[in-house]
Structure 1
Amino acid sequence: MGRWSRLVADEFVTWLGCRDGLRWVDVGSGTGALTGAVAARCRPRQVVGVDPSAGFVGTARADAPASACFVVGDGMSLPVRRAGCDVAVSGLVLNFLPVPGAAVAEAARIVRPGGPVAAYVWDYAEGMEFLGRFWAAACSVDPAAAELDERRRFPVCDPERLRSMWTDAGLVDVDVVPLEVVTAFTGFADLWEPFLAGQGPAPGYVAALTPSARDRLRDTLRATVPTRPDGAIELTARAWAVRGRTVDAAM
């Protein structure tokens, strides 16, 4: 997913359109894809990535731009004072937080009055074409696979749920838009081989299959994926992006 997350991070930052010189916090920064996009496109005064994983923070620090720093911290209790930054963002994280609505409220706490709080999530329900095709193929050969399908497991995937979370956190002028990127594969092997990595719901499912079941799944998926004459495959991935702003003290 990493190559697609970098593409959608650029689309998200462009959509936000924030001015230069701001102080940013990236909640759940992972290995730094969104932090890097902010640093490259927004000329921030500073961008701080916060993530609970020391391993991710270490990886992000190794390739951090000059304006960025990374700290280990919890998105439910950010190590930032009230109104201590200008912008709070989060990329592809909300579905993995225990209480996502509380995390949005915590992000709002650290943003100055009138400042933006924004995030984006993959549209697992309908917009991740290559994952949708994978799970459809998996369910056709193994109905029990439906329990692992991200389309059922991750509820924060639709615009109305996101809008409600932002308004419930006291944010105003809430806007939700789709962001789409092309997921291009040079051939079927380029699509299939990442499913053999063993990390994440789909690769974990593949790793647990017997060799013969894995072959049946591979062949079923291959038969359903649209392939160009040169063997290339182009699908789409959609994320939902949401932003709102904290209430201005003057209001």
Structure 2
Amino acid sequence: MRERRDVWAAGEAYERYMGRWSRLVAEEFTVWLGAGDGGGYRLDAGCGTGALTAAVAARGRARTVVGVDRSAGFVATARGAVPTAAGFVVADAGALPVRDGALDAVVSGLALNFLPLPGAAVAAWARAVRPGGLVAAYVWDYAGGMGFLRRFWDAAVAVDPSAAALDEGGRFPLCRPGPLRALWSEAGLVDVTVAPIEVATVFRGFPDFWEPFLSGQGPAPGYVASLDADARVRLREALRAALPVRPDGSIALTARAWAVRGRRPEV
């Protein structure tokens, strides 16, 4: 079995692979959350290239919005792409550099399942918000609702059965409604709600679908990078044959995320 390679370092490469879709989900997530009660401090834990930070800064009325991420490369990309209304810090999303009760809200997009101790991270986020403060996040539905990744791994396993061990659908059982709800409740949060968020992922053609998998950013591109040239061609052609191509050459799929939110008890 190949070693997992979850590389998250190059912001521009990530943008083409996942960022363009994560921005769509971030917008829908902030609509789902609503404008919030305003006036406080909001933090985006595991901000990546800043998609959710930007959406929160644009929609909310928070006095300060800060994104934190362990990847200096991602933080650099976010600083160059997100309006000055938001700030960015290189820090661990699971150990926020703030005192308990300092924040109005902690949000996180597409990062929770990559943290070494997700439960400890959510508990830390709950401590970081004031009584009544919000803790909310979203993750991809890797098991079935993340269309282009589901197509990728199904093709990869058909060509190379050992790839099943790397499939995010199996690796991240957390990314389902039940486990997410339990994680929030175990952190002491109340009024916990879980909901699906679905966006369209339309690719201009097969190169637009395939080439982002050559970026090396994340589990699936990391797997592609581990293949020799012949195996890579076999995977590419298996994918090409399996995809639903429209008459104009485009490929229309959908991506579903699961969103969860809860509040720190008032007393």
Indicate the residue corresponding to 1:6 in structure 2: 23
Cα gap change, 1:185/1:53 in structure 2, threshold over 3 Å: closer, same or farther? same
User: Is 1:84 matched with 2:102?
Assistant: yes
Indicate the residue corresponding to 2:49 in structure 1: 31
Identity %: 67
Indicate the residue corresponding to 1:125 in structure 2: 143
Structure 2 unaligned regions, length at least 5:
1-17
Per the TM alignment, residue 65 of structure 1 is displaced from its structure 2 partner at its CA by 2.2
Per the TM alignment, residue 61 of structure 1 is displaced from its structure 2 partner at its CA by 2.3
Indicate the residue corresponding to 1:63 in structure 2: 81
User: Is 1:178 matched with 2:206?
Assistant: no
Per the TM alignment, residue 136 of structure 1 is displaced from its structure 2 partner at its CA by 0.9
SS at match of 1:176: strand
Per the TM alignment, residue 144 of structure 1 is displaced from its structure 2 partner at its CA by 1.1
Kindly provide the amino acid, as one letter, of the partner of residue 244 in structure 1: G
Give the number of the structure with larger relative contact order, counting CA–CA contacts within 8 Å between residues 6 or more apart. Answer: 2
Indicate the residue corresponding to 2:244 in structure 1: 226
CA distance in 2, matches of 1:70, 1:192: 31
Q: Which moved more, 1:185-194 or 1:52-61?
A: 52-61
**Contact 1:21–1:42 (8 Å) recurs in 2:** no
**Contact 1:127–1:238 (8 Å) recurs in 2:** yes
Indicate the residue corresponding to 1:237 in structure 2: 255
Residue by residue, what CA displacement relative to the aligned partner does 1:160-203 show, whole Å, maximum 9, x if unpaired? 00000000000000000000011100111111111122232212
CA distance in 1, matches of 2:59, 2:122: 24
SS at match of 2:65: strand
SS at match of 2:197: strand
CA distance in 2, matches of 1:133, 1:140: 11
CA distance in 2, matches of 1:203, 1:66: 31
**Contact 2:19–2:49 (8 Å) recurs in 1:** no
User: Is 1:150 matched with 2:168?
Assistant: yes
**Contact 1:196–1:206 (8 Å) recurs in 2:** yes
**Contact 1:75–1:106 (8 Å) recurs in 2:** no
Kindly provide the amino acid, as one letter, of the partner of residue 14 in structure 1: V
Indicate the residue corresponding to 2:130 in structure 1: 112
CA distance in 1, matches of 2:37, 2:202: 32
CA distance in 1, matches of 2:97, 2:224: 38
CA distance in 1, matches of 2:178, 2:103: 27
Kindly provide the amino acid, as one letter, of the partner of residue 30 in structure 2: V
Kindly provide the amino acid, as one letter, of the partner of residue 169 in structure 1: A
What is the Cα-based RMSD across aligned positions, in Å? 1.4
Cα gap change, 1:142/1:205 in structure 2, threshold over 3 Å: closer, same or farther? same
Q: Would you say how many aligned residue pairs link Structure 1 and Structure 2?
A: 249
CA distance in 1, matches of 2:93, 2:207: 37
Kindly provide the amino acid, as one letter, of the partner of residue 62 in structure 2: P
After TM superposition, list the pairs within 5 Å mapping 1:36-51 onto structure 2: 36-51=54-69
SS at match of 2:153: helix
SS at match of 1:56: helix
CA distance in 2, matches of 1:70, 1:155: 30
